[in-house]
Structure 1
């Protein structure tokens, strides 16, 4: 399956945060120590950040999420800057972004929560 590519700018580090999911699971045994094992190799990471959009980018991104992503539901490819540098990840919105008009000249800010997976 070919994933659509995010048409807007790279997610900004302003307000950026990430919450990794633990890749290990512990099983309590009847006797002795608990057993710890790896649950999966590639694990989802919840990411919070902002997109700053011009009026044109705002219209482009709104159309993208409503039509291409089936109303914020489908996964897509996103260029993301984090501790590993700038890279492309598989992303999916956890909820619709909060849209704020920052400037009367047409600058928008989308605060978004995404779930990402690394692409190797």
Structure 2
């Protein structure tokens, strides 16, 4: 019975990694490619590590497999965020079918600074003062 679970985990993990590779080739821009690879590849590695833990069933191997799973869960989203932000900063073109760019009104391309959504809302609601230049 454990062999069936191992086979299912390895096969599904490999399929998710194949989908991640196809996502790199087929998707139109950096952000969608990054999304596909981060989600699918992370899930693929996690499933294969579960199969490894089941196959060896030794405390040391299982602990290492779960440590790898935790590491992937902690680092994949952060890496995706950093890559996406760097791609946006260097001017990577968005796909022509992109409907909305929510980062554009909050991003200053000269200083590479981002305003938080709360700052933008507060500035929009702020009433002009007498000291403000017209």
User: TM-score by structure 1 length?
Assistant: 0.25
Greater share of residues in helix: 2
Structure number, greater radius of gyration: 2
Higher relative contact order structure (alpha carbons within 8 Å, sequence separation ≥ 6): 1
